[in-house]
Amino acid sequence: MTPIFSLYKPLNFIQVVQYNATTMDPRTTSFLLSLLLIIFFNSPFAASETFNVVSFGAKPDAKTDSSKAFQAAWARACTSSTSASIYVPNGRFYLRHATFNGPCRNDAIDIHIDGTLVAPSDFHVNANSPNWIIFHLVNGVSIFGGTLDGQGAGLWACKRSAKTCPRGATSLEFTDSKNIMISGLTSLNSQIFHIVVNECHNVKMEGLKVSASGNSPNTDGIHVGLSSHVTILNSDISTGDDCISIGPGTSNLWIENVACGPGHGISIGSLGKALKEDGVQNVTVKSCRFMNTQNGVRIKSWGRPSSGFARNIRFQHLKMTNVKNPIIIDQNYCPYNKDCPGQASGIKVSDVTYQDIRGTAATRFAMTFDCSPKFPCVGIKLEDVKLSYKNGAAKALCSHVRGTVTGCQ
């Protein structure tokens, strides 16, 4: 018999009770059915409402603007007093721009996407807005599946032509939100950043696929800033910029089993752009693979005063394949030699561990520690680092760094 307290297959239980009604005491049968109904109708599954965007006027024809329909479905889900689901069926849904604001009456909204959301092909439509799709002040929102097509190629071409171009729009952003899940989502060809997590707490991203041309500017795969307890798992990221970038104010970030390439690697920073800045701490990057990337794992700060820091960082069990800079700390970042020449970075880098880093470098210098002369990098630990260049030993460049070396190097 199906367990009495199963919430997932209540009909099977009812069928079993009905089947055994002839042999079961009627009072027992009545009691069990009543108990089941009480459990089921008080469970979150029973009360959930589903809102199909097509019912609100969305059209899967890739040309009719469905922005208002999506926002109408969101309004219904957000004002529901019980858990709610928004469903996007197969097809290509054109969205000009969409903002999903909270707070909502409930803290359990699932968005199930079988189709593709398509941004305007004319980059001028959205390129002066910071975001294409944004969630603000939400709690308990989960996105499952689906594809976001940012159609950013036009803006990339504009930027490569040296014309005056707009900055561009991030495809998906969560800001000032908590308890967020993004699972199985594909993001293609964002104008700039694909996914941004800003001022959020307790976010999990898993099974993501992010893809843009290797020469697409500023198309970071995932950016995390001013956020805590963020997890990124089992994802494949190929872009023209950082696969994952980690901004100031990030703490308790866990990245595991991410394939990166092409792109600029996984980067903490750039830090120290502001004089007063929150630090980065408690970051783990584990069991990741880097293929034909500009960098592997990088910590980068501006060469000028700042109150920020990067500490308690763990890079573990990483595989490099033809990576230009597999391991790099650069505290003398000064693009265009503006506002920083001759100054020393105020970012304090400490307690950084590189453990079991293996593979091949595309240049002779596989490790670069170019730290601040005013605040040297301290507590740098190298444990079993084995990187080669053209079948020979790679080299390291070290400046203003203190630490220990153990195991095979």
Our CA angle for 150, 242, 258, nearest 5°, is 90
Q: What 3-state DSSP class applies to 46?
A: helix
Residues 6 or more apart in contact with residue 38 via CB below 8 angstroms:
none
Q: Which of 12-16, 87-91, 113-117 has the lowest mean pLDDT?
A: 12-16
Tell whether the model's pLDDT for residue 30 goes beyond 80. Answer: no
Confidence category of residue 390, pLDDT binned at 50, 70, 90:
very high
Give the mean pLDDT of 372-376. Answer: 95
Q: What is the mean pLDDT of residues 370-376?
A: 95
Predicted local distance difference test score (pLDDT) of residue 69: 98
φ and ψ at 118, to 5 degrees? -115, 125
Please identify which of the residues 223, 264, 317, 400 carries the catalytic annotation.
Answer: 264
State residue 381's pLDDT score.
Answer: 97
What is the pLDDT averaged over residues 258-284? Answer: 97
**Any idea which of 7-21, 248-262, 295-309 has the lowest mean pLDDT?**
7-21
Architecture of the domain spanning 242-408? 3 Solenoid (2.160)
Encode pLDDT of 301-345 as tens digits: 999 999 999 999 999 999 999 999 999 999 999 988 888 888 999
Burial class (CB in 10 A: 0-12, 13-18, 19+), 100: buried
Q: What is the mean pLDDT of residues 207-236?
A: 98
Whether the predicted pLDDT of 43 surpasses 70: no
Map residue 100 onto helix, strand or coil. strand
For 187, left (φ over 0), alpha (ψ -120 to 50), or beta? beta
CA–CA separation, 238 and 353 (whole Å): 25
pLDDT at 7: 35
pLDDT computed for residue 16 by the predictor: 39
Collect all residues with Cβ–Cβ distance below 8 Å to 350 and sequence separation of at least 6. Answer: 309, 310, 311, 312, 377, 378, 379
Instruction: Find the mean pLDDT for residues 288-308.
Output: 97
Known active-site residue 264: yes
Residue 241: predicted pLDDT: 97
> Domain spans of the chain?
47-227, 242-408
pLDDT in tens, 116-162: 999 999 998 987 889 999 999 999 999 999 999 999 999 999 999 97
Asked if residues 119 and 87 have their Cβ atoms less than 8 Å apart, the reply is no
The reported pLDDT for the residue numbered 5 is 32
Question: Which CATH class name applies to 47-227?
Answer: mainly beta
* Spatial distance between the Cα atoms of 242 and 328, rounded to a whole number of angstroms: 14
22, pLDDT greater than 70: no
> Is the confidence at residue 2, as pLDDT, over 70?
no
Tokens 């504009």 sit on residue: 158
Average pLDDT over residues 239-250: 98
Question: Can you give the pLDDT at residue 17?
Answer: 40
Helix, strand, coil distribution of the chain in percent, nearest 5: 15, 45, 40
Residues 66-112 have pLDDT tens digits of 999 999 999 999 999 999 999 999 999 999 999 999 999 999 999 99
pLDDT of residue 27: 57
pLDDT of res. 325: 98
Closest alpha carbon to 110 in 6, 57, 180, 39: 180
Residue 335: what pLDDT? 85
Residue of higher predicted confidence among 337 and 54? 54
> Residue 212: pLDDT above 50?
yes
The answer to whether residue 393 scores a pLDDT higher than 90 is no
Compute the average pLDDT of residues 256-267. Answer: 98
- What is the structure's pLDDT at 149? 98
Does residue 74 or residue 36 have the better pLDDT? 74
